[in-house]
């Protein structure tokens, strides 16, 4: 179990005044039995005229805020302190049900019960149905293989086949091009894995969050010898992204069936990953987005820090340099 402090600074500098702005933020970490939110503050400058916090359909906390006063700069800082426990220390992937049986649970049966996970087996704006995704997954999804074993194998393959190259893509890079070029950033690794799972008929969710720069010691590594304590993490010091694969009935997985997998770093997330929000893809959980009137051109700056909590005052405001919000 670790106690972590995360600061996430976002700034927009506009060349002409913005007269009206409406924004939506997903910047408050999730809370459940394995992740306890100890404190959270969201500071917005200039102060918004209206603000409303509410949960969405997936339990993510979303913050809507509006500014009706002219402004040339917007600064948003989220600071959170979170206690994280490893969620999958008792994972027994080999004891999970066969993946074809899991996929069959989602097929329509007249007057049959509705399975909410079905929503995450369907295509979404950033993760379309692609024949190439099915072909990529074919060597992994062989008959009778346990679903968690297949998901872990897919994670290992994507990590081995794709090269992590910071700023090599942006959110507009098509998934088909990522698969063709075999390089990208964490959101590309996550979207690719989500897409392959869905083409096999399996639900998969996109997770946004944060992680420590170096992997902490975990009680079990699930065969990931490369995930030793102290190993540098790819995608740290920025917003991070990984995947949840639906593996119901798997020992060591929560009752809702969602197993977290980080293909960028080839590991099962433990106490060094902080979950921020879950959705179909990046579009559902964008940390900060909005619509504005005016503004001209703008420069975006993002800075993220994830540290072990050792008490004392909060982190000072960071000098923000332009960079990608998810690397």
Distance of CA 158 to the CA centre of its chain: 16
Mean residue pLDDT of the chain comes to 90
| Domains of the chain as residue ranges with CATH | 2-84+285-308 (2.60.40.2250), 93-283 (3.10.620.30)
Per-residue pLDDT, averaged over 201-213, amounts to 95
Distance CA 317, CA 46 (A): 15
Name which of 248, 230, 236, 224 is nearest 152 in CA terms. Answer: 224
Is the bond preceding residue 92 a cis peptide, omega within 30 degrees?
no
pTM above 0.85, yes or no: yes
Distance CA 68, CA 160 (A): 49
Percent of the chain's residues with pLDDT above 90: 81
pLDDT tens string 255-281:
999 999 999 999 999 999 999 999 999
Residue predicted with more confidence, 9 or 216: 9
Distance CA 117, CA 257 (A): 9
Helix axis angle, 186-199 relative to 147-161, nearest 10°? 140
pLDDT tens string 130-143:
999 999 999 999 99
Tokens of 274: 């902080």
Q: H or E element: which one contains 161?
A: helix 147-161
Q: Which residues does 194 contact at the CB level (< 8 Å), separation at least 6?
A: 127, 204, 205, 206, 243, 281
Distance CA 62, CA 51 (A): 10
Tokens of 3: 């106690």
Percent of the chain's residues with pLDDT above 70: 87
SS3 107: coil
* Edge-to-edge strand ranges of the sheet holding 258-261: 258-261, 240-246, 204-211, 273-279
For residue 184, what are the β-bridge partners? 164
Q: Which residues does 283 contact at the CB level (< 8 Å), separation at least 6?
A: 124, 125, 126
Name which of 210, 206, 209, 227 is nearest 218 in CA terms. Answer: 227
Q: Sort strands 163-164 and 183-184 into parallel, antiparallel or unpaired.
A: parallel
Name which of 126, 274, 105, 135 is nearest 203 in CA terms. Answer: 105
Q: Rounded to 5 degrees, what angle do the CA atoms 256, 257, 262 make? A: 120
Q: Is the pLDDT of residue 229 over 50?
A: yes
Is the CB of residue 102 less than 8 Å from the CB of residue 247? Answer: yes
What's the longest Cα–Cα distance across the chain?
A: 61
For residue 291, what are the β-bridge partners? 22
pLDDT tens string 7-62:
999 999 999 999 999 999 999 999 999 999 999 999 999 999 999 999 999 999 99
Distance CA 213, CA 204 (A): 26
Is the CB of residue 9 less than 8 Å from the CB of residue 320? Answer: yes
In the chain, the N- to C-terminal Cα span, in Å, equals 26
């Amino acid at each position: 179990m670790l106690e972590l402090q995360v600061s996430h600074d976002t700034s927009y500098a506009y060349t002409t005044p913005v007269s009206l702005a409406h924004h939506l933020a997903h910047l408050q970490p999730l809370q459940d039995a394995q992740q306890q939110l100890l404190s959270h503050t969201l500071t917005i400058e200039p102060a918004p005229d209206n603000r409303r916090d509410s949960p969405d359909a997936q339990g993510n906390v979303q913050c809507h805020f509006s500014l009706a006063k002219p402004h040339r700069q917007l600064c948003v800082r989220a600071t959170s302190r979170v206690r994280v426990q490893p969620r999958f220390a008792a994972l027994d992937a080999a004891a999970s049900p066969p993946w074809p049986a899991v996929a069959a649970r989602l097929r329509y049966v007249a007057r049959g019960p509705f399975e909410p996970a079905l929503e995450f087996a369907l295509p979404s704006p950033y993760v379309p149905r692609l024949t190439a995704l099915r072909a990529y997954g074919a060597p992994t999804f062989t008959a009778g293989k346990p679903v968690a074993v297949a998901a872990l194998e897919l994670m290992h393959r994507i990590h081995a086949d794709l090269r992590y190259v910071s700023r090599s893509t942006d959110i507009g890079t098509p998934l088909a091009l990522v698969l063709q070029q075999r390089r990208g950033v964490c959101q590309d690794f996550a979207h690719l894995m989500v897409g392959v799972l869905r083409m096999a008929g399996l639900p998969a969710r996109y997770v946004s969050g944060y992680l420590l720069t170096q992997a902490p010691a975990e009680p079990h590594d699930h065969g990931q010898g490369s995930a030793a304590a102290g190993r540098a993490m790819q995608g740290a010091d920025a917003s991070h992204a990984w995947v949840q694969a639906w593996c119901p009935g798997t020992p060591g997985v929560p009752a809702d069936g969602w197993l977290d997998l980080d293909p960028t770093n080839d590991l099962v997330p433990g106490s060094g990953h902080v979950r921020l929000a879950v959705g179909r893809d990046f579009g559902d959980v964008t940390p900060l987005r909005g619509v504005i009137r005016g503004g001209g051109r703008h420069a975006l700056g993002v800075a993220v820090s994830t540290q072990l909590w050792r008490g004392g005052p909060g982190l000072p405001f960071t000098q923000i340099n332009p960079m990608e919000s998810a690397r």
